[in-house]
Amino acid sequence: MEQPGIGGLKFNEPEIWEKSRKGRCAISLPKPDVQESLLDTALTADAPDLPQLSELDVVRHYTRLSQWNYGVDSGLYPLGSCTMKYNPKTNEVQAGRKGFAQAHPLCDDQFSQGSLELMYALEAFLAQITGFDAVTVQPAAGAHGELTGMLMIHRYHEKNGKQRSKIIIPDTAHGTNPASASLCGYDSVKVSSGPNGILEPCAIEAVMDEDTAGIMITNPNTLGLFETHVREICDIVHSKGGLVYGDGANMNAIMGIVKPGKIGMDVLHLNLHKTFSTPHGGGGPGAGPVAVNKILEPFLPVPRIIKESDTYKFISDLPDTIGRMHTFYGHFGVLVRAYSYILSMGAHGLCDVSKLAVLNANYIKERLKKTLNLPYDLPCMHECVFNDEKQLPVTTLDMAKRLLDYGYHPPTIYFPLVVKGAFMVEPTETESKDSLDQFIEALETIAKEAMDTPVLLKSAPHIAKVSRLDEVTAARKPCLKG
Ligand SMILES: *Cc1c(COP(=O)(O)O)cnc(C)c1O
């Protein structure tokens, strides 16, 4: 099968300043019809040194740079934990509509009824999808949602008269969980998952006490497995007065199938930029709405949107609120995309998303487990985790780099930490069987190369724009000039 990677027509492109030629200009202004007057010398002395280029120079510069990019619109992007699915363009069109895109955040409620209605309706949709009583769409990302949720748990214990000092975090939780708990002043108590990668109630029973604020459970967990004992675990935590935080960033696997609010969880965040159609990967913007049950509702951030007869308005005078988590109302454009996505998919469509995401991941798992080692061989959810045990001394890193030569963005590597040499693939529901087969074949070829010509992999990638980088230096001393 032909792989998407190619070698030709890859352009070098210098910094825009190197292309600058004095006097070149991309615009032509009409002659002034008033008398010219010179700018203040203070202004001209400090004038920025802007590059001087023709229109074609500028167009080629940015087009070439854009061709060094790789995105979901160019090919399969199997980055585990990130849900890099295709985002239908209709959602971009809706978010770009003037009434939404140019709404001014300082506009009075009475002139923003459409935007308020959209946020109000989106909160209701998300409450229904997650099975909770109330939602805020204010947080700007998944980790920001975690902080919001943990601040609410913190405020809840404070209000109950006794603050607690610890929080239970399983080894299969997302890495942002302990960081969010720590920002609220909690110490993390690490709990190991059982031999099949799932949390065991007895392990929670052993550590849960009355100085523990609760637990943060990522479900499906970072091994791509569904935590089957959530109900028992919630009962154990609740019986000692603790609360259960659900990390719902992986909702793409269970949307329409499981309602976390109905299986005992108290609070949950979603990643709209993963599950609900916002392109991501370049650092934002995103949105991390938080859904809560009745117990935590009074602590939600302000402002909240309410509906009085036919009018929507913001209210802020709520005595127990944790306060504001973001300026204005969060990342409104992301909310429009999510709203449009939910309406265009419909309830059945959202269910199909989860079923197909799980089917695709299980297809990859079953077809590749002969080729790559699969440490936890259970039916998976939206992603599956292999490692390099069969290929060593060729490593996960070598295989990921070689995938670039075949035209793929590599999967997530060396995460989750519970699997040594992890190679985590999340295909998402938007890939067809053809594109999964093509990807599987690329990995089978790479596994064969690992046996026959390991040197080839050790020095991969060979036809990418740059070859192997010194990643430590790149992280410690980033060169941001291009
Ligand atoms: C992506 C992810 C997060 C963090 O989300 P951000 O928007 O990147 O802050 C948290 N938990 C899980 C399980 C995730 O997959």
Cα(60) to ligand 1 centroid in Å equals 36
Residue 340: phi and psi, rounded to 5, are: -65, -40
Atom of ligand 1 nearest to the CA of 273: 7
- The CA angle 53-57-60, to the nearest 5 degrees, is 150
**Does the pLDDT value for residue 482 go beyond 70?**
no
Domain that holds residue 231: 90-344
- Closest residue (by CA) to atom 3 of ligand 1? 142
Confidence of residue 461 (pLDDT cuts 50, 70, 90): very high
- Closest residue (by CA) to atom 14 of ligand 1? 249
In this structure, are residues 261 and 132 in contact, taking their beta carbons and an 8 Å threshold?
A: yes
CA gap 365, 358 in Å, rounded: 10
Residue 358 counted as domain residue: no
Residue 102 counted as domain residue: yes
Bridge partners, 446 (sequence order) = none
Cα(174) to ligand 1 centroid in Å equals 7
Assign 3-class secondary structure to the chain: CCCCCCCCCCCCCCCHHHHCCCCCCCCCCCCCCCCCCCCCHHHHHCCCCCCCCCHHHHHHHHHHHHHCCCCCCCCCCCECCCCCCCCCHHHHHHHCCHHHHCCCCCCCHHHCHHHHHHHHHHHHHHHHHHCCCEEECCCCCHHHHHHHHHHHHHHHHHHCCCCCCEEEEECCCCCHHHHHHHHCCCEEEEECCCCCCCCCHHHHHHHCCCCEEEEEEECCCCCCCCCCCHHHHHHHHHHCCCEEEEECCCHHHCCCCCCHHHCCCCEEECCHHHHCCCCCCCCCCCCCCEEECCCCHHHCCCCEEEEECCEEEEECCCCCCCCCCCCCCCCHHHHHHHHHHHHHHHHHHHHHHHHHHHHHHHHHHHHHCCCCECCCCCCCCCCEEEECCCCCCCCHHHHHHHHHHCCCCCCEECCCCCCCCCEEECCCCCCCHHHHHHHHHHHHHHHHHHHHCHHHHHCCCCCCCCCCCCHHHHHHCCCCCC
**Does the pLDDT value for residue 10 go beyond 70?**
yes
Give the domain CATH number at 316: 3.40.640.10
Average pLDDT of the residues in 34-41 = 85
Residue 6 counted as domain residue: no
Atom of ligand 1 nearest to the CA of 222: 13
- Closest residue (by CA) to atom 4 of ligand 1? 142
pLDDT score, position 382: 96
Average pLDDT of the residues in 293-303 = 98
pLDDT score, position 471: 83
Q: What is the pLDDT of residues 227-248, one digit of tens each?
A: 999 999 999 999 999 999 999 9
Q: What is the pLDDT of residues 215-229, one digit of tens each?
A: 999 999 999 999 999
- The CA angle 280-281-286, to the nearest 5 degrees, is 40
pLDDT score, position 265: 98
CA gap 482, 280 in Å, rounded: 21
Residue 352 counted as domain residue: no
pLDDT score, position 401: 96
Cα(462) to ligand 1 centroid in Å equals 32
Predicted TM-score (pTM) of the model is: 0.91
Determine if ligand 1 sits within 6 Å of the CB of residue 81: yes
Q: What is the pLDDT of residues 346-390, one digit of tens each?
A: 999 999 999 999 999 999 999 999 999 999 999 999 999 999 999
Atom of ligand 1 nearest to the CA of 286: 7
Average pLDDT of the residues in 386-411 = 97
**Does the pLDDT value for residue 40 go beyond 90?**
no
Q: What is the pLDDT of residues 244-282, one digit of tens each?
A: 999 999 999 999 999 999 999 999 999 999 999 998 876
Residue 118 counted as domain residue: yes
Residue 166 counted as domain residue: yes
**Does the pLDDT value for residue 441 go beyond 90?**
yes
- Lowest mean pLDDT segment, chosen from 7-11, 39-43, 370-374, 465-469: 7-11
**Does the pLDDT value for residue 448 go beyond 90?**
yes
Q: In what order do the strands lie in the sheet with 423-425?
A: 384-386, 423-425, 412-413
Cα(251) to ligand 1 centroid in Å equals 11
pLDDT score, position 189: 98
Arithmetic mean of pLDDT over the chain: 94
Confidence of residue 8 (pLDDT cuts 50, 70, 90): low
**Does the pLDDT value for residue 12 go beyond 90?**
no
Atom of ligand 1 nearest to the CA of 176: 10
Residue 313 counted as domain residue: yes
Mutate to test the pocket of ligand 1, among 176, 290, 418 (most ligand atoms within 8 A of CB): 176
CA gap 22, 52 in Å, rounded: 6
Q: Which of 50, 17, 63, 107 is nearest to 313 (CA)?
A: 107
pLDDT score, position 46: 81
Residue 83 counted as domain residue: no
Q: What is the pLDDT of residues 89-138, one digit of tens each?
A: 999 999 999 999 999 989 999 999 999 999 999 999 999 999 999 999 99
Atom of ligand 1 nearest to the CA of 145: 9
CA gap 225, 264 in Å, rounded: 18
Confidence of residue 69 (pLDDT cuts 50, 70, 90): confident
Confidence of residue 68 (pLDDT cuts 50, 70, 90): confident
- Structurally, the chain folds into a number of domains equal to 1
